[in-house]
Amino acid sequence: MAVKLRLRRMGKKKQPIYKMVAADSRSPRDGKFLEAVGFYNPLTTPHTLDLKEDRIMYWLNVGAQPTHTVKSLLRQKAITLKKELLSKGLDEEKVKSELENWQKMKEAGLKKKTDRKLSKKAKAKQEAQASAPAEESKPEEKVSTDAPKDQAPAKETKPEEKVSADAAEDQAPAEETKSEDKTE
């Protein structure tokens, strides 16, 4: 019988919660399983991962094959690293020190990543502040304050509107002269 470590979907519609199980590879995804070895909730931030490490190590040593997703989750908890170190024949103290070093490196990487994100946000904030005074210094349209407060300020006509109004007046008399010439 081929045993796989895989995720069993549970939870409501659009709200998945997964149980990590050791199951026969021929059984369906949500079907019969041999043993539940963990719990995974991807909806929390950061995702929740609760595993029975000793039982997972047992199943891996017996020959169970993890699926791609389960393998990724086991890497996040350094269970695959521990299995590799134990299979090389290292004693418990060396394995423990290696896992601590791995944990420190992982935390340093996360800190570096968050620092980069914060520095990007800080740069964007500085750029926004630098561009904001430039926008404020632009001259604004002046509205006459002579009008009473209860009335709306008088609209100033744009030069283009004046030109178009003058052009309309110029065209109207020209048309009248043409019609007068025809009648005479």
pLDDT digits (tens, 9 = 90+) for 10-43: 999 999 999 999 999 898 888 889 999 999 999 9
Domain count, the chain: 2
What whole-number distance in Å separates Cα of residue 90 and Cα of residue 77? 19
For residues 71 and 10, membership in a common domain is answered with yes
For residues 78 and 38, membership in a common domain is answered with yes
**Structural domain contains residue 122:** yes
Residue 147: pLDDT above 60?
no
What whole-number distance in Å separates Cα of residue 1 and Cα of residue 7? 18
**Structural domain contains residue 143:** no
Residue 69: pLDDT above 80?
yes
| Segments forming the whole domain that contains residue 99 | 91-126
Interior/surface letters 89-107, b for 16+ CB within 10 angstroms, e for the rest:
eeeeeebeebeeeeeeeee
Cis peptide bond N-terminal to 16, omega within 30: no
Tell me which of 89, 110, 141 is where a domain ends.
Answer: 89
**Structural domain contains residue 9:** yes
pLDDT confidence tier of residue 181, bands split at 50, 70 and 90: low
pTM for this prediction: 0.59
Residue 122: pLDDT above 70?
yes
**φ and ψ at 65, to 5 degrees?**
-105, 125
For residues 26 and 67, membership in a common domain is answered with yes
Residues 34-68 have pLDDT tens digits of 999 999 999 998 889 999 999 999 999 999 999 99
Average pLDDT over the chain, rounded to whole?
80
